[in-house]
Chain A
Amino acid sequence: MTRTLAARLSRALVGCYPRRWRQRYADELLDVLDQHRPAARTVLNLAASAVSTHLDPAYRLEGLAMTRLRRGALISAALAAPVVLTLGVLMGYGAWRESSWHPGDAAGVTALAFSPDRRILVSAIGFDEDGTDTVWNVADPAHPKQLARFEGGAPTAISPDRRTVATISFHDQPVLWNVSNPGRPAKIAALPGLPNVVLWGQAFSPDGRILAAAYTSQIDLWNVSDPARPRRMTTLAFDAAAPPHWYGFPGAIAFSPDGHILASTTSHDGVGLWNVANPARAVRVATLSGHTAPVAALAFSLDGHQLADVGYDGRLVIFNLTDPAHPSRAAILRTIAGSGAYFSTAYALDFSEGGRTLTAIADRISSGPLPSTAADETISRWSLTGEGAVTHTTILSHDTTSAGGALALAPGGRTLARGAPPGGGDIVYLWMLP
């Protein structure tokens, strides 16, 4: 392979990494390639690295490299792909071994979402546009019934009337699906996305009239009273320059139960609060801080007086929001049993209906001496006073055998849905917590 061909292929392969990864590292990697004078082994090594990055849980909502290659945008890379993939796997430098999942079978549950009344669960298998969404009736969690299937991307939110599912398309567009007729789910509308900006989350307001679409740079508020004719009401801007290392992580977004406050991850360590009582004139009222990593999940108590958030640092913070403009920290908790170095992969949490307990699930990959890794999951529950102070901590389970799939905790914190990890098949496990 000539040097110039290797250089061209190398640069093309940088485009095959997941989008979130590219936003953070592509410039640096291209700069290193400029200095490095790529050879054939550089190309093979990049292909292997790109594939293993796609199998990484932090990027699992994204498309496989092959999906992108099939689009014809990188024809030369596509011709080389079978060879590159075969040799690349052999040259993976132990990258596979650092992941607890086995490549080969790409199927696995990539996203899960409960309806606010926890009667409906939507699961997605596979990646992006090759993936399939399944709507389940889980009103009786012991006897779930399949209602509908459609090909719609990652489900992120279900409207309070259970008629509409908001998904994230391959192109980072918010898409609305009508699932009220189980036999015929239908695409209602695809909202315009932002060019080259990752859409990572969505939330419906409690009255179902507003859809908040959260990007890494801003939140768009859409009036979806008539889902077939969504209207953009306003855009909520984030802090001037969020450090780029936030981009590897999906954040968290939620409306308060009265619909007046919107809370969202806005930076590498902060959660922004907006007063959206009048959505067209939404104003930022406060920033919640208390983490050293992005916030992965958050929940309001039913009376709206408390907000709990958990960051990828494994820390859980309860804020008193009696006056949303002047939030105060009521408690700082650990969600992970044991100690040692780790990196976390998924979190879910919610308050009980009476607001007197808080349940959190934390998945992580722990690291002993390099390069061995082990995955585990901790389910914790805290008893709270009315002000959010903790009176009692219970570890409901600490499981060292299963972790890694998508997670969702139904409102109220009693039903846990856990998807099989990539390679684990199309299985969703429903757990009733005590």
Chain B
Amino acid sequence: MRVHGKFDDLGRFADPSLLILTSLADGPRHGYAIMTDVAEFSGVQMEPGTLYGALSRLERRGWVRPLATQERRRPYEITAAGQSVLAEQLASMQQIVRIGRQRTATA
């Protein structure tokens, strides 16, 4: 499924922070597993530079937290604060989708 691949270069529609938080919402994952999971559920091919740029910002904001390294790979998990930010963001996107649908239907 390729949901919004053609909007990649606009940034906003492929916000890496949102994709990472969504990926971690159902359990901890390490870096490469996040990339493959994101590609699978959104069609966005996130590059390692983008991934780690976003991960380090999310970690500093306290929205994800690193877990102990397992065989060289460090899994990350979403925090309670990260979950509430994600919920808030998804609600606002839902609102956009709802309005967008209404307006395109009447147009």
Contact = CB atoms under 8 A, between A and B. Distances in A.
Given A27-B72, A31-B73, A42 B49 contact: yes
Contacts of A370: 15, 17-18, 85, 89
Given A33-B48, A36-B48, A48-B49, A248 B60 contact: yes
Contacts of A58: 60
A25 B57 contact: no
A289 B9 CA distance: 45
B25 interface: no
B17 A41 contact: no
Given A32-B51, A52-B53, A94 B11 contact: yes
Given A45-B47, A45-B50, A97-B11, A32 B60 contact: no
Interface string A40-76: 0110011111101100001000000000000000000
Contacts, number: 101
A368 to B, nearest CB: 9
Interface string A81-93: 0000000000111
A98 B61 CA distance: 13
Contacts of B35: 32, 36
Contacts of A41: 47
B15 A94 contact: yes
B83 to A, nearest CB: 11
A369 interface: yes
Contacts of B14: 93
Nearest to A38: B48
A295 to B, nearest CB: 15
Interface residues of A, number: 45
A245 B66 contact: yes
Contacts of A341: 61-63, 81, 84-85
Contacts of B84: 341
A114 B107 CA distance: 64
Contacts of A42: 47-49
Given A45-B49, A341-B63, A367-B61, A31 B11 contact: no
A238 interface: no
Interface string A7-29: 00010010000000100110111
Interface in B64-107: 66, 72-74, 81, 84-85, 88-89, 92
Given A45-B47, A93-B50, A341-B81, A371 B12 contact: yes
B48 A32 contact: yes
A176 B48 CA distance: 40
A371 B63 CA distance: 14
A95 interface: yes
Contact of A29 (B9, B52, B61, B66): B52
Nearest to B47: A45
A367 B15 CA distance: 14
A431 interface: no
A397 to B, nearest CB: 24
A101 interface: no
Contacts of A10: 48
Contacts of A53: 53, 56
A367 B89 CA distance: 11
B85 A49 contact: no
Given A32-B48, A248-B60, A94 B12 contact: yes
A343 B60 contact: yes
A342 interface: yes
Contacts of B74: 28
A35 interface: yes
A46 B59 CA distance: 19
A409 to B, nearest CB: 23
Instruction: Name the residue among B32, B49, B73, B84 with the largest chain A CB count within 10 angstroms.
Output: B49
A267 to B, nearest CB: 15
Nearest to A91: B9
Contacts of A244: 66
17 contacts: A28-B30, A28-B52, A32-B31, A35-B32, A45-B49, A45-B50, A49-B49, A49-B53, A92-B11, A245-B59, A248-B56, A248-B60, A312-B60, A341-B61, A341-B62, A370-B85, A371-B11
Interface of B: 9, 11-12, 14-18, 30-32, 35, 47-53, 55-57, 59-63, 66, 72-74, 81, 84-85, 88-89, 92
Closest 8 CB pairs of A and B: A94-B11, A49-B49, A45-B47, A46-B49, A45-B49, A343-B61, A49-B53, A32-B31
Given A29-B48, A35-B32, A369-B92, 19 more contacts: A28-B74, A31-B72, A32-B35, A32-B52, A50-B49, A91-B9, A93-B14, A93-B16, A93-B50, A94-B12, A95-B50, A248-B56, A312-B60, A313-B62, A341-B62, A342-B61, A370-B18, A371-B12, A371-B17
